[in-house]
Structure 1
Amino acid sequence: MAAAFDPRSVPEALRDARDALAAQAEDAGLNATHVREQALVDGWLVRFANSRAKRARCVNAIGDGRMPIDERIERAAALLAAAGLPLTFRITPFSQPQGLDAALAERGFVAFEESRVMYRTLEVGTAPASALPLHEVGPREFADKAGRLYGDAPERIAVDVERAVSFAGTGIRLLMGERDAPVAAGCVLLDGSMAGLYGVHTQAEMRGRGYAATLIEMLLQRAQNAGARYACLQVGAGNAVARALYQRLGFSDCYAYWYRAREIE
């Protein structure tokens, strides 16, 4: 279970909404997790899909709105409850209205699961050769096989297959190893000049062999060839192993986000 934390511990630089690249990365992340099960509630994008991505089953407060905050909270809670999901808010530097995080804290919502969005500029380079076969696949096959690699339940995989197929932009999706039973998977989804890196995962018993780094470099090179100039990703703030890998690959922190709920998920 995730632990509660105090958002005041997040460096001020990672809570700044003025960075244009940070805003572009935030848009790319929301576009990548578009789902059918969503509704607008006075400027809040409420998503209630049974998806692996938590951004697809929470409140993304993207607009200021006009109605009282308690009314908005009540309406958002009803949508999520009808889908059997807890009322969870995703708090970013761009959350509206200003002061939303403090308002939720006053109402008993606990902060948890701090994450960092990291980004880098893409530069011309040569990706390393892969020791295992690489297969570029379509969205349906990727979501299905990657979901099984993650260990997701069939009903969650079905939701993510639908989400992947409905993505309107360009995606590059790689499976590493045997196509029917990959040892690693990852994809990039292009959003303008930004390439979002998602779903990178390696079988537990195959970690520490450099497969993830090779897969990421392959994806970034293909994204640049497709016209991307920047890359971004999301990672848990406490995931030291993954963060160290991403830093070695040239990524640095761009901004932080976290979740708030009355009970930690």
Structure 2
Amino acid sequence: MEFSAAGRLEVRITAADVGKRVSVRSLNEHAPSGERFTDTVGVLTSWDNGVLCLTRRNGDSVRIGESALVAGKVVPPAPARRRGPAASYEELARVAARAWPPLESEPLGEWELRGAEGFTRRANSVLPLGDPGMPLDEALTAVRRWYAERGLPAYVQTATGAEGTQELLCAELERRGWVREVTAELWVGALAPVADRGEPSGVVLSRQADEAWLARYRRKGVSEVALKVLGPGSPRSWGSPRSWGSPRSSEAESGGEAGSGGEPGSGGGPSVWFATVPGPDAPAAIGRCVVDGRWAGFAAVEVDPAQRRRGLATAVMAALARRALDEGASAAWLQVEEDNAGARALYDRLGFAPHHAYHHYRAPESSAPAGDGSL
């Protein structure tokens, strides 16, 4: 906290610091003795009518009465991770978007409206990287109209916890009654250590999500749309090359171009691989990897409950990582929900660490999806 020359704590923030990362200490008069002070670090998203609102790294909002402030100061952006490749939020957001490509998209200023008939919120939400080109209320009206025309709930995907993330937009959405659903985190790590873990000899890699792979995939009744989002080569899916949606990354250190079109795997776009550990009736384990320039994105790593604790998830990721290294990738990312303790422990052992949290906000008049409730 901030001390004055006389050694006293001081409040050195004002309403002019909205949008900055701050650290505050506040008094809780009703707390037990010795626990009366609370320290909070987050982005100051508002200071109105004597109440401060801070958004923490995980997206939670904290309201603090101005009269309860004991000390406060502006602090630097969240410190860099102790491990893992360096990356901006925007680079990772675009890479992750290309890994779950919508069937259709449309720009709204610098925002991207994405739709895939409801399969996974990641392909059925607005990606707001920049300015929508109009006042926020007008932009949200356009968003609701676009999704209503498609019979879909309106979602905006936001992020918190890293430099350049959208704490202010989250606060504005909450003030307008948008509901936050399914908070998750995007983790990053070096790719080579993943490839060195586990014994991938029993893992079969394919360009196709075949019937055996789908038998293990946890979302039952996989539709035509889901197959198209999962990746080219899936049964009954692609009839022709298609767009991969988001603009390519301009990162100079990328191992290759993250193209915006063309047949995946041909040098013009992300390359998709599916991993299977065969089993007697259905695969013992599966996984999916999207190779996009320097990045390899892991998803759908699932193991038969009866076969867990045998290192199969690690073997699947190792096999996919080796393939991604062969294609020029050097860094890895994945998405994991807050309450998935087993997956988080595995990814921590493999050298991954959280980069930022991301959230899906649903419009107050939109009903929650009746089908797929995934990220």
Runs ≥4 in structure 1, deviation > 4 angstroms? 93-96
Distance 2:57 2:175 in 1: 19
- Cα 1:205–1:174, aligned 2, differ >3 Å: closer, same or farther? same
Question: Could you tell me which residue of structure 1 aligns to residue 70 of structure 2?
Answer: none
Q: 1:160 aligns with which of 226, 230, 234?
A: 226
Give 1 or 2: higher helix fraction. 1
TM-score, normalising length: structure 1: 0.83
- Cα 1:70–1:256, aligned 2, differ >3 Å: closer, same or farther? same
Partner of 1:120: helix, strand, or coil? strand
Query: Are the equivalent residues in 2 in contact too, given 1:122–1:224 (CA < 8 A)?
Result: yes
Question: Could you tell me which residue of structure 2 aligns to residue 10 of structure 1?
Answer: 57
Q: 1:92 aligns with which of 135, 140, 159?
A: 159
Correspondences of 1:156-195 after superposition (within 5 Å): 156-163=222-229, 164-165=231-232, 166=242, 167=264, 168-178=269-279, 181-195=282-296
Tell me if 1:258 matches 2:324.
Answer: no
TM-score, normalising length: structure 2: 0.60
Corresponding residue pairs, total: 253
Q: Which amino acid aligns with 1:109?
A: W
Distance 1:179 1:41 in 2: 49
Query: Are the equivalent residues in 2 in contact too, given 1:25–1:196 (CA < 8 A)?
Result: no
Distance 2:118 2:296 in 1: 21
Partner of 2:284: helix, strand, or coil? strand
- CA displacement, residues 29-55 of structure 1 (integer Å, 9 cap, x when unaligned): 011112222222222211121354321
Query: Are the equivalent residues in 1 in contact too, given 2:197–2:318 (CA < 8 A)?
Result: yes
Q: Which amino acid aligns with 2:177?
A: G
Query: Are the equivalent residues in 2 in contact too, given 1:186–1:199 (CA < 8 A)?
Result: yes
Instruction: For structure 2, list consecutive stretches of 5 or more residues without a partner in the other structure.
Output: 1-52, 59-76, 233-241, 243-263, 370-375
- Cα 1:25–1:185, aligned 2, differ >3 Å: closer, same or farther? same
Partner of 1:90: helix, strand, or coil? strand
Query: Are the equivalent residues in 2 in contact too, given 1:90–1:260 (CA < 8 A)?
Result: yes
Correspondences of 1:23-172 after superposition (within 5 Å): 23-50=90-117, 52-93=119-160, 94=164, 99-123=168-192, 126-130=196-200, 133-139=202-208, 141-142=209-210, 145-154=212-221, 156-163=222-229, 164-165=231-232, 166=242, 167=264, 168-172=269-273
Bigger RCO of structures 1 and 2 (CA < 8 A, at least 6 apart): 1
Between the two proteins, what is the percent identity of the paired residues? 26
Instruction: For structure 1, list consecutive stretches of 5 or more residues without a partner in the other structure.
Output: 1-5
Distance 2:326 2:170 in 1: 40
Is the deviation greater in 82-91 or in 176-185?
Answer: 176-185
1:57, CA displacement in angstroms?
Answer: 1.0
Distance 2:271 2:199 in 1: 24
Query: Are the equivalent residues in 2 in contact too, given 1:49–1:83 (CA < 8 A)?
Result: no
1:95, CA displacement in angstroms?
Answer: 5.8
Query: Are the equivalent residues in 2 in contact too, given 1:184–1:211 (CA < 8 A)?
Result: yes
Q: Which amino acid aligns with 1:81?
A: A
- Cα 1:32–1:14, aligned 2, differ >3 Å: closer, same or farther? farther
1:172, CA displacement in angstroms?
Answer: 2.5
Tell me if 1:248 matches 2:345.
Answer: no
